[in-house]
Structure 1
């Protein structure tokens, strides 16, 4: 039914419909970690950094927005053909995001942006995907979107980290000094 990865389609819905750039980052990062070689310069990282840059810009963190936009642009330039394979008009997208970086440098107010597409199929698939799960993509309260990294429930992430630490601690050799004779 879908030829594009579902996390990518989810990313596009969050990007264009709810403008939840933090969630864009979450869904693509999970996909990048689980389904790719985790290359730091993959097209997925470029898209993740684009979304996080927009998240920072909206929150007024211009230094973070500028830093991530510059990193994203380097990757996106390098991965133009992969952007095109994802149905994105790579030239227009990169140009638009370069303009956004300039706006960040000039400390202009945040505005939402859209990813320009060159392939109608990706638009059809993302809209079909959105329609199939629309209730879960309702627009969030703006104050929640601005501060999602602080307000979201992270109990499952913290529990997983704690479990990992416990397991790692079991594997470490003890460093107790030898008993005195």
Structure 2
């Protein structure tokens, strides 16, 4: 039914329909981690960074937005063929992202952004995907979208950090005992 990866279609639905840039990051990062070689300069990372930049910009974090937009632009400029393979008009998208970076640098107010497409099939597919989702998944209020990272359950992340810290301290103690 779908010729594009479902996480990509989910990314596009969140990007264009609900403008939930945090969720864009989440779904595409999971795909990138599980289904790719996790290259830091992949097209997926460029798209993730674009969404993160928009998330920061909406929240008024201009430094974070600028940093992410610059990184995304650098990656995506070298991935125009892959963007085209995803149905994206790479020339228009890069021009738009470059303009957005300039707006962020100038401290201009946030405005939603749309990814321009050359292949209308990707639009049909992400809209079809969006129609199949329950409304609660994609319809969120502005405050929720702006502060989503503060509202989620972070206990798994905090537990993983605590375990890593314990391992480092444990390794340090073990290494010291061997000296």
TM-score relative to the length of structure 1: 0.89
Q: Does the 8 Å CA contact 2:7/2:28 hold for their aligned counterparts?
A: yes
Summarize the alignment of residues 13-162 of structure 1 with structure 2, pairs less than 5 Å apart.
13-161=13-161
The Cα shift of 1:144 comes to 1.5
The Cα shift of 1:145 comes to 1.0
Q: Does the 8 Å CA contact 1:18/1:137 hold for their aligned counterparts?
A: no
Please list the CA deviations of residues 106-160 of structure 1 after superposition, one character each: whole Å capped at 9, or x if unmatched.
Answer: 1110000100010011011101111111324332121121111111122343345
TM-score relative to the length of structure 2: 0.90
Q: RMSD in angstroms over aligned alpha carbons?
A: 2.1
SS in 1 for 2:25: helix
Structure label with greater radius of gyration: 1
Comparing 38-47 and 126-135, the one that deviates more? 126-135
Change (3 A) 1:141 1:79: same
SS in 2 for 1:174: helix
d(CA) in 1 for partners of 2:175, 2:146: 45
d(CA) in 2 for partners of 1:105, 1:176: 48
